[in-house]
């Protein structure tokens, strides 16, 4: 197997989920760069029953295919279930949906069961096929980035045959695009309240928070995609009020992951997560049309110079950076920093200083600066 670059670089993969992104690649191939942003034209909030008795905003494959037909000028012409080598290699590209647990090029391989898409086309000779996957995400098992991979036909067939649930194989044909739709939003406050109440009242807190971490990720990406579509192009500047609101959504995503990790380790559940999510959901309708409230700044805590070298060393170790490259200002400006790394920094500081941070302190905005982290350690040591 070999890997290489692909035209996936032209798609805003960072705004798309793992089923959307390869439909986006097809749309831009057939209709030109930027077509994929039409997936953000309509911002919806439509929870449906999901796993574990919890509601979910995650679209189904059929939802995505309906959007592809309506917005991207792509129509399904054939759809098969199972593995059929001639179908995989003939008349490509083929849009394939399989369990990422069995796909060796993604970080979920061997770790997590989740639906994942990719494209398959004939290779340079009759014995190989080319797999293109535009997915972009950081996971606890590593980074997924857009790329292409070459496999032998039998090798890929064996990979897909390992999926006990079977795979979906689809051909999608282009059709003429209609006029670009106007940005629109369908956001219902009552549905949002019912949705959040289900997560707040679910008795299995670990399961609820694990699922809610994914939900916030999906909600944030959908809003970023909508804002980028409204901006007019893949690289266009997003409205400043919308950009501030999207930063608040990033904070909710980080808060959700931090809360889940704490509860999964048997710690107290940090408060305010669901109230915070309710606030940003309420603000969607105005903030994403240019009138939203500004983000609340994180409170700065006074650092302790005696603590700073160890705090900086922990941050540098987690981010795999030289200590002199760790700034005193926002860590969020570092490519290596993410919500995953933020949680690891918190856990590393607790281990280094033999403390346990209180749930009230574990707000993401208080975990983005060296000064704030020093203050967090200082308070925990004082309370020990």
The predicted-structure confidence for 176-202, as pLDDT tens digits, reads as follows: 988 888 888 888 878 898 999 999 999
pLDDT in tens, 64-93: 999 999 999 999 999 988 776 666 766 679
Q: How far apart are CA 319 and CA 313, in angstroms?
A: 10
Angle between helices 308-319 and 339-353 (to 10 degrees): 140
Q: How far apart are CA 89 and CA 216, in angstroms?
A: 37
Dihedral in degrees, nearest 10, Cα atoms 42, 43, 45, 49: 60
Helix or strand (DSSP H, E) at 345: helix 339-353
- The whole-number pLDDT of residue 338 equals 85
Phi and psi torsions of 185, nearest 5°? -130, 140
Q: What is the mean pLDDT of residues 332-361?
A: 84
CA 185-187-192 angle, to 5 degrees, is 155
Task: List Cβ neighbours of 318 (8 Å cut-off, separation of 6 or more).
Answer: 341, 344, 345, 348
Whether the Cβ atoms of residue 217 and residue 17 lie closer than 8 Å to each other: no
Which token pair is 288? 């994403």
- The whole-number pLDDT of residue 3 equals 40
Residue 6 has pLDDT above 60, yes or no: no
Q: In 3D, which of 46, 34, 119, 19 has the Cα closest to residue 72?
A: 34
Whether the Cβ atoms of residue 170 and residue 76 lie closer than 8 Å to each other: yes
- The whole-number pLDDT of residue 28 equals 95
The structure's pTM equals: 0.78
95 burial via Cβ count (<10 Å: 0-12, 13-18, 19+)? buried
Residue 4 has pLDDT above 80, yes or no: no
Phi and psi torsions of 142, nearest 5°? 135, 180
- The whole-number pLDDT of residue 8 equals 53
Q: For the chain, what percent of residues have pLDDT higher than 90?
A: 56
Residue 32 has pLDDT above 50, yes or no: yes
Specify the length of the chain in residues.
384
* SS3 call for 143: strand
């Amino acid at each position: 197997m070999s890997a290489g670059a692909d035209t996936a670089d032209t798609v805003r993969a960072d705004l798309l989920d793992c089923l959307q992104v390869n439909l986006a690649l097809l749309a831009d191939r057939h209709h030109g760069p930027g077509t994929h942003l039409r997936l953000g034209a309509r911002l919806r909030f439509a929870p449906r029953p999901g796993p574990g008795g919890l509601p979910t905003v995650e679209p189904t494959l059929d939802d995505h295919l309906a959007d592809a037909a309506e917005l991207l000028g792509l129509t399904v012409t054939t759809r098969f279930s199972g593995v059929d080598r001639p179908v995989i290699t003939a008349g490509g590209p083929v849009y394939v949906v399989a369990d990422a647990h069995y796909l060796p090029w993604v970080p979920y391989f061997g770790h997590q069961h989740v639906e994942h898409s990719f494209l398959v086309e004939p290779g340079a000779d009759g014995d190989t096929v080319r797999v293109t996957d535009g997915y972009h995400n950081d996971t606890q098992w590593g980074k997924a980035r857009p790329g292409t991979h070459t496999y032998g036909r039998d090798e890929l067939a064996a990979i897909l045959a390992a999926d006990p649930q079977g795979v979906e194989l689809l051909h999608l044909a282009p059709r003429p695009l209609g006029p670009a739709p106007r940005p629109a939003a369908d956001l219902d406050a009552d549905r949002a309240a019912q949705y959040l109440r289900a997560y707040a009242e679910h008795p299995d807190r670990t399961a609820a928070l694990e699922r809610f971490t994914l939900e916030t990720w999906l909600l944030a990406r959908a809003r970023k995609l909508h804002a980028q579509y409204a901006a007019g192009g893949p690289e266009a500047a997003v409205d400043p009020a919308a950009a501030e609101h999207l930063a608040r959504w990033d904070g909710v995503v980080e808060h959700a992951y931090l809360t889940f990790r704490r509860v999964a380790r048997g710690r107290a559940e940090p408060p305010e997560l669901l109230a915070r999510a309710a606030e940003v959901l309420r603000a969607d309708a105005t903030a994403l049309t240019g009138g939203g409230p500004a983000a609340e700044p994180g409170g700065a805590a006074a650092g302790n110079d005696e603590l700073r070298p160890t705090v900086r060393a922990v941050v540098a170790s987690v981010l795999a950076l030289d200590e002199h490259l760790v700034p005193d200002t926002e860590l969020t400006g570092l490519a290596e920093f993410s919500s995953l790394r933020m949680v690891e920094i918190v856990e590393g500081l607790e281990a280094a200083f033999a403390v346990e941070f209180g749930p009230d302190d574990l707000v993401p905005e208080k975990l983005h600066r060296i000064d704030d982290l020093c203050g967090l350690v200082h308070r925990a040591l004082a309370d020990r």
